[in-house]
Amino acid sequence: MAFNYNLTLHELMDFFCTQDYEGFTEQEIQTVERRIGVKLPAAYRDFLLKYGEKGIYDAFNNLFHSLKDIMTSYQIIDEILENLAGDFEKSIKNGKQEEYADNPYFSLWQMPKEDWHTITQNYVLIGCDREGICYEGYLLEDLLEGNPDPPLYLSCDDDFIEYKKWSDSTEPFLIEMMGETAFDEHAYGVDYYDPKTRISIKEIFAHIKVDIDDKQFKVNGHVGTCFDTVHEKVYFYFDYDNFQRLFGVCKDDFL
């Protein structure tokens, strides 16, 4: 077997996309930026300008396909509070506000927006998992500071309050999201769970009878990739500490 290692986003887009690229226009992106009140980071802007809706639709099921869906977490919280306001007001009127004592939305509802940062920071959300539970995005403060390629964050606990840093930059995050989509729709391979020990990348590839050069194979963030040029198959290796996953996707799956 002949392998190419550590594929770029562009190489993977060429593999996964079944049609020509057609990026969003500068005007379309600027419309979003006016609505969210900040310029998108250069790394993600470049992705949108090059690949646009068609590329996103082909390769990702966990990024928003429409620019209209991009918004800040504070904008979503505004909508949540509008829907909850009647319940909150009723609880206060009836002297039962203690039932919301641990509800962060109740606390946000009672304070001016300039103080919301004491409970949750504001994020620019660019996608969501298929279950509608985990949202992905950039910290707004990073964008206001003009960081061209800031970290990505994931929301926690099925809410818009808590987030955890997930990826240091845009390209490895997008490659990971592409791999998650491929696994959901076309993949076959092996998962390895063991809270006490891990196995080497070389060994986990041996489980599916594939011999790679593990000195060339690199993991960037949570994912590493290589391409079998003979069989036109991309392999994704995911590393989540005590959970390792390896799977392959054939070119024929997209034809």
- Over residues 159-192, the pLDDT tens digits come to 899 999 999 999 999 999 999 999 887 656 778 8
Q: Provide the mean pLDDT of the chain.
A: 92
* Interatomic CA distance for residues 207 and 225, integer angstroms: 16
For 62-96, the pLDDT digits (tens) are 999 999 999 999 999 999 999 999 999 999 999 99
Kindly state the tokens that stand for 246. Answer: 């390896």
For 193-249, the pLDDT digits (tens) are 776 778 899 999 998 899 999 999 999 999 999 999 998 999 999 998 778 999 999
The confidence score (pLDDT) of residue 255 equals 42
pTM of the model: 0.92
The confidence score (pLDDT) of residue 1 equals 66
The confidence score (pLDDT) of residue 253 equals 64
The confidence score (pLDDT) of residue 17 equals 87
Residue 33 has pLDDT above 80, yes or no: yes
The confidence score (pLDDT) of residue 21 equals 85
